[in-house]
Amino acid sequence: MLGLGLGINKSIAPEEFSIANISGLQLWLKNDTGITESGGAISQWDDQSGNDNHGTQTVSGRRPVLSGKNIVFDGTDDRFDLTSEFGVDTFTIATIINPLESTPSNESILGKGANDFLRVHQGSQTDRVYMKANGVTMDQATLQAQLPTGTFLLVITRASGDTDNCKVRVNGVDISEAARDNSDSTDRLDILTIATSGGGLNPFDGYINEVVVFNSALTGADLANVEADIMDRNGL
């Protein structure tokens, strides 16, 4: 079910379109390719960007589970560690998520410790997207619509150093708040883990079915095609 006032704005990507052909692709994890699993538990999630920055988990008790096409994280200690840490100051992050926590919570999608992360807050935490880069907060606390329940596409774009630059999109709709904290910051967001901020901080409880990171703030046809491609493959 969609949040109050939030619809879907879905275009159709050209048949020949591929996310891999967009310049600046840093990381691409998707739920239909590159999964190594045994008994449903996933030990490796292969990066499709060409950078071989795979998500791995060597501890069996911390491996998410593959349920149908959903990659399910337990909200306790499931996570992937990337082969190599990388950082972006200008970026586009697109992810298919479904937070399942039954009580209000802060859910980390990716990051590296307490000073670099991307989280969603729902319930009594107030629907918001919360991000830190090098300890600098870029908070979206007054979104124009509620975050949906169920599975949805979340896209964050940021152009480093530009005023009012950090934008939030859900299912192809811009729901960014009017005033954005430290939106002209040039601080770099470092990324090393998926489904936690790092070290088990604010673990994600639910599905993370795709993660795409570019080192540019996509706009226009590139952004529309990326969103349409991801939504189509994930049944949105």
Percent residues over pLDDT 90 in the chain: 60
3-state secondary structure of 80: strand
Which of 174, 185, 166 shows the shortest CA–CA distance to 91? Answer: 166
Instruction: Give me the pLDDT at residue 93, please.
Output: 97
Instruction: Give me the pLDDT at residue 27, please.
Output: 98
The answer to the question of residue 185 being in a domain is yes
CA distances from 231 to 10, 19, 89, 203 (A): 8, 12, 25, 24
The answer to the question of residue 173 being in a domain is yes
The answer to the question of residue 7 being in a domain is no
The answer to the question of residue 8 being in a domain is no
Rounded to two decimals, the pTM is 0.91
11 vs 175, more confident: 175
Sign of CA dihedral 134, 198, 195, 202: negative
**pLDDT tens profile 201-230:** 899 999 999 999 999 999 999 999 999 999
CA distance 83 to 85: 7
* Count of structural domains, the chain: 1
The answer to the question of residue 3 being in a domain is no
Domain carrying residue 184: 24-233
**pLDDT tens profile 145-185:** 788 889 999 999 988 766 667 889 999 999 887 655 555 56
Instruction: Give me the pLDDT at residue 47, please.
Output: 98
**pLDDT tens profile 116-141:** 999 998 765 567 788 888 888 776 66
CA distance 165 to 160: 7
The answer to the question of residue 18 being in a domain is no
The values of phi and psi at residue 61, to 5°, are -75, -10
User: What's the chain's average pLDDT?
Assistant: 87
The answer to the question of residue 12 being in a domain is no
Q: Domain with 87 in it: what CATH number?
A: 2.60.120.200
